[in-house]
Amino acid sequence: MKKVIVTGGAGFIGSAFVKKLNCEGIDDILIVDALGKNDKWKNLLGHRFADYLHKDVFIDRLISGRLEFEPSAVVHMGACSSTTVRDVEYLMENNYRYTKTLAHWCAACGIRFLYASSAATYGNGENGFSDECDLRSLRPLNPYGYSKHLFDLLAERDGLFEKIAGLKFFNVFGPNEYHKGDMASLVFKGFRRISETGRIGLFKSYRQEYSDGEQARDFVYVKDCTEAMWWLLSHEKVNGLFNLGTGVARTWNDLAMALFSAMDRSPKIDYVDMPGGLPDRYQYFSRAETGKLAKAGCALKFRSLEEAVKDYVAIHLTKENPHY
C-alpha cells in the first residue's frame, strides 16, 4: 500500500487508522471528510497526510473523472454513524448511495476497497450475530442500521464481495471519539460524569430476563480495530463481510466497574429511564462471532474490557492532549 484514500479520515475510527498507516510508514494519504464547525479537525493533529477534500468535492471529482489522486487502496469509514438520526433520505444518500458509488468505482479500477458496515445490521439479534448468516434474514432496528444493511445486501447481490472487504464493527470505543456528542462511548461520557459528580448513569432494563445494567454488548477497543483493519487491507485476496468484535459480551455494569477501577474511584451507579421511544429500538445483547475472520488467517488478540478501559483512561482521557 503506497497511496491510500481514507474517507471519514478525520472521524473516530478513520483518524485512528490514519495513525496506523503513519506507523506503517504510509503518509501519501488523501483525507476525505466534512470538518464542519466542531473540533473533529483536532483528530488530524500530528498525523501525516498528502491532502484533504470535502466529501462532496471528492465524490464529484471521482464521478466526473477529475480525481487526480490515484490510490492503491480506499478505506471507506465515512458515514453518518448516529443511531438516532431519523432523516432516512439523508442516510440513504450519505451511507448507502455514497458507498455504492465508491465501491463500484474501486471494483472497476482494481483498487483495494475496505468499508465499514455495522453490528446494528443484526437488529435485536434474534437471528444471531454470525457474519456467515443469510443477510436477507436480518432486521435492523433503526434507519442507520438499515442504511448499512442495504449496502451489504447490494454488495452480495452484485458479487462485490469477491473483490471488496467489509467490517461489521461492534461497540467501538477509544481515543478520537470526542467530537461525537451523544454518540460517544459510555467510557468517554462516563469519565466526564465521574470526574464531575463521582457517579455514572446506566439505563434501566425493560425486559424481565435482564437486570438493570446487565444488558450486554461486545465492546472493542479502537486500537485493536485498526490492527484488524491493517491486516485486512494488507491481505488483498481476503474478501467478504466480517465481524469486528472481541467475541465476548460484557455488561454495562462491567464497563462501569472497569471505568471506576481505572479512575481509582469507588463505584456509584444510578439506573435511569431510557428516553421515550428507545426501549423498542434498544439492542439488549450483542456478541460478534469471530470465526470467519480467524479462518481467513487474522489471528489478532484483543484487549480485555478492563485492559482497554485502563489504557484509554491512563494514556488519553487524563492527558491534556488526549488525541491519538
Active-site residue list: 144, 180
The DSSP code sequence of 21-35 is: HHHTT--EEEEEE--
230 Cβ contact partners less than 8 Å away, ≥ 6 residues apart: 17, 20, 21, 24
Contact (Cβ atoms closer than 8 angstroms) between residue 21 and residue 91: no
Residue 317 CA to residue 303 CA, distance in Å, equals: 18
Is residue 221 within 8 Å of residue 303, measured between CB atoms? yes
- 277 φψ region: left (φ > 0), alpha (ψ -120 to 50), beta (else): left
Give exposure, 260-272, as e/b (b: 16+ Cβ within 10 Å): bebbeeeeebeee
CA-atom Rg of the chain in angstroms: 19
Cα atoms in the 13 Å half-sphere on the side-chain side of 153 = 16
